[in-house]
């Protein structure tokens, strides 16, 4: 078999129809050293969603280059780093690049522990912020509770500032606005705002599959 080719029995093989949105996530978790741990679940969800949307040739995490991507894949999902298409990956251009840089910077500044896994985790959360669903859904997690656990464990100081349990995507962008001294909401406080439910209402929806 040619080097780098996928065997028919490989969990990354793609016979027949193109994979659905959750399939790449499932494939990665089959290869995971610790499939029940939260970091591999987050990475599998965000990377899998990116590959579904943009193809295997695209670097899946904003700001993470090819060398680092392959290293992280090898560490958490042994075998996935040999995907042939990934070898030809090129950086993706994002219209939201400046905004994304700000989200990444905010998350990196508030890391509870600074190491490569946690740095990559910050980039994964920021990448998921580009999605159109609730953040926990864009990360393909099972529930919002999982996301809150992640934020509390890995971005402790940032999570502590979300005392009112604001929706996480709203909260992150609110933090950026406050850093730039931009006041988007005209209400004197969240409690009297007519859009309270938009920012603090339940984040219901289907979990990751």
Report the C-alpha gap between 152 and 154 in whole angstroms.
Answer: 6
pLDDT of amino acid 119 = 98
In this prediction, residues 98-122 reach a mean pLDDT of 94
pLDDT at residue 137 tops 90? yes
Q: What is the pLDDT of residues 38-67, one digit of tens each?
A: 999 999 999 999 999 888 888 899 999 989
**Cβ pair 68, 35 in contact under 8 A:** no
pLDDT of amino acid 1 = 39
Alpha-helical runs (H) found in 110-143: 116-128, 135-138
pLDDT of amino acid 96 = 62
**Cβ pair 65, 91 in contact under 8 A:** yes
pLDDT at residue 113 tops 80? yes
- Cα separation of the two ends of the chain: 32
pLDDT of amino acid 152 = 97
Q: How does residue 6 score in pLDDT terms, banded at 50, 70 and 90? A: very low
CA-based nearest residue to 98, from 170, 15, 180 = 180
In this prediction, residues 11-28 reach a mean pLDDT of 62
In this prediction, residues 141-157 reach a mean pLDDT of 95
């Amino acid at each position: 078999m040619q080097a780098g080719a996928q065997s028919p029995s490989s969990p990354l093989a793609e016979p027949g129809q193109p994979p659905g949105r959750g399939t790449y996530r499932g494939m990665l978790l089959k290869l995971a050293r610790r499939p029940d741990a939260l970091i591999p679940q987050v990475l599998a969800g965000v990377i899998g969603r990116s590959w579904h949307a943009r193809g295997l040739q695209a670097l899946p995490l904003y700001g993470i280059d090819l060398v680092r991507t392959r290293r992280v894949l090898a560490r958490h999902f042994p075998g996935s780093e040999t995907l042939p298409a990934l070898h030809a990956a090129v950086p993706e251009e994002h219209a939201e690049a400046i905004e994304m840089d700000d989200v990444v910077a905010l998350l990196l500044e508030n890391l509870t522990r600074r190491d490569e896994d946690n740095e990559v985790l910050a980039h994964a959360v920021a990448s998921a912020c580009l999605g159109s669903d609730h953040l926990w859904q864009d990360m393909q997690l099972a529930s919002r509770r999982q996301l809150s656990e992640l934020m509390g464990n890995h971005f402790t100081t940032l999570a502590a500032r979300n005392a009112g349990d604001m929706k996480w995507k709203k909260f992150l962008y609110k933090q950026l606005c406050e850093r730039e001294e931009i006041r988007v909401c005209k209400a004197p406080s969240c409690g009297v705002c007519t859009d309270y439910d938009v920012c603090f209402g339940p984040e219901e929806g289907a979990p990751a599959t």
